Amino acid sequence: MTSRDPKAQGEAKPQLLHLVFGGELKSLDSHEFRDLDTIDIVGLFPDYASAERAWRAKAQATVDRAQFRYYVVHLHRLLEPDLTPPTRTA
């Protein structure tokens, strides 16, 4: 049985940076934060899977605080927009 771990086979896994952040919103109808000084920068992650795990942990930790929201930003799409695959339409 062979391993599909890219590192084990010498394949370079592409780095697709993602930012996870969040905080208290002014209202549930917007993406405006109540206080920019209190935004929680969770961190930068090398791929979507690790960013999603961090996002999920923070979102679950604040589930009792309705005004709190956490987001995942696909930084790699901002840094290299030409490499972003086109979105499919139904």
Render pLDDT for 22-36 as a digit per residue (tens, 0 to 9). 999 999 999 999 999
**Spatial distance between the Cα atoms of 19 and 25, rounded to a whole number of angstroms:** 18
Taken as a whole, the chain contains a residue count of: 90
Domains of the chain as residue ranges with CATH? 18-82 (3.30.70.2400)
Q: How many CB atoms sit inside 10 A of residue 41's CB?
A: 10
Residue reference for tokens 């999603």? 52
pTM of structure:
0.74
Task: Convert the pLDDT of each residue in 51-82 to its tens digit.
Answer: 999 999 999 999 889 899 999 999 988 888 87
Residue reference for tokens 């709190």? 68
Provide the β-strand partners of residue 69.
Answer: 23
CB 72 within 8 A of CB 18: yes
